[in-house]
Amino acid sequence: MPRRRRRAALQVLALGLAAATMLGVAGAVDGAPSPSATTEPASAPNRDLPTPLVDMTISRRSEDPGRTVNLTIDDGPDPQWTPRFLDVLARNGAKAVFCMLGPNAEAHPGLARQVVAAGHRLCDHSVSHDTAMDHKDVAYQQQEIVDGLRMIQDATGGAPVPYYRAPGGAFTPESRQIAAAHGMRPLGWNVDTRDFERPGVEKILETTREQLRIGPTVLLHDGGGNRTQTLQALEQLLPWLKAEGYTFSFPQQ
Ligand SMILES: [Zn+2]
């Protein structure tokens, strides 16, 4: 093959591989973890290239070794429910990531600060909770992510926001890049309790116990409706986790 044509063929192959890798990562958001989604960053960063502040692959693993669980609590803060979540977590010595919607943090800055003061971590969960965000243009995604972050930072007086979770897990390669450029690691989950559907306390517990075999990061909600079932499930789940030898950790940043 002439050299020029061979080079062109190699370029097409490289582009195809890059696209396949991106699709593989983006498509793995809601299902079981894929190896590519949890790949560690290279240990020796290339000094010639700008390195993102954080890894832009989707985080699901714990930052601590051993039998761990990462609680993640979405869609608040909510004045009716969030204080009760803080209470059950404190009584059980558990920590969580609170994935806040910007306007909710803006409306309840005292609650957002209480979350930080109790030692929990913050996650930007966008402005509008648009679960079709992955079908919208990049400018829209940027605005949703960056405005959400700014609202949470304003409410908390500039507390660190180390994670970004797309509404409904609707990540795109671009949204992961935007999050990383603002110091936030994209945050996924392993255990989908579907607590927002209010399937019953027993069902939430059963789903959690089953899916913890997949991985440590559990998705729960303190906003978006009546969260009595989630709270009742946590009252049982947290002591059970401790009895089973789990420790409470955070997803890798
Ligand atoms: Zn949500």
DSSP per-residue letters across 5-48: HHHHHHHHHHHHHHHHHHHHHHTTSSSS--GGGGPPPPSS--TT
**Cα of 72 to ligand 1 centre, how many Å?**
10
- Give mean pLDDT in consecutive 10-residue pieces for the chain, a chain of 253 residues: 46 41 35 37 46 82 96 98 98 98 98 98 98 98 98 98 98 97 97 98 98 97 97 98 98 96
Paired tokens of 68: 């761990």
**Alpha carbon of residue 111 to chain centroid:** 20
Span from the CA of 132 to the centroid of ligand 1 (angstroms): 12
Q: Which of 187, 198, 218 is nearest to 94 (CA)?
A: 218
pLDDT of residue 51: 56
User: What is the phi/psi pair of residue 205, to 5°?
Assistant: -65, -45
- Identify residues whose C-beta is under 5 A from ligand 1, the ion: 74-75
Are 72 and 251 in contact, with CB atoms under 8 Å apart?
Answer: yes
Question: Of 207, 174, 159, 167, whose CA–CA distance to 188 is shortest?
Answer: 167
Cα distance between the two ends of the chain: 47
Q: How far is residue 96's CA from residue 110's CA, in Å, rounded to a whole number?
A: 18
How many A from CA of 75 to the centre of ligand 1? Answer: 5
Q: For the chain, what are the domain ranges?
A: 56-248
Which distant-in-sequence residues (6+ apart) come within 8 Å of 62 by Cβ? Answer: 68, 69, 70, 216, 217, 249, 250, 251, 252
- Report the CATH superfamily, name and number, of domain 56-248: Glycoside hydrolase/deacetylase (3.20.20.370)
Quote the pLDDT of residue 11.
Answer: 47
Catalytic residue positions? Answer: 74, 221
- Say whether 140 sits in a helix, a strand or coil: helix
Give the model's pLDDT for residue 55. 87
**Contact between 115 and 122 (Cβ < 8 Å):** yes
What three-state secondary structure class fits 183? coil
Instruction: Give residue 13 CA to ligand 1 midpoint distance, Å.
Output: 38
**Cα–Cα distance between 14 and 20 in angstroms, integer?**
10
The one-letter amino acid code at 141 reads Q
Q: How many residues does the chain have?
A: 253
Distance in Å, CA 205 to ligand 1 centroid: 20
pTM attached to this predicted model:
0.81
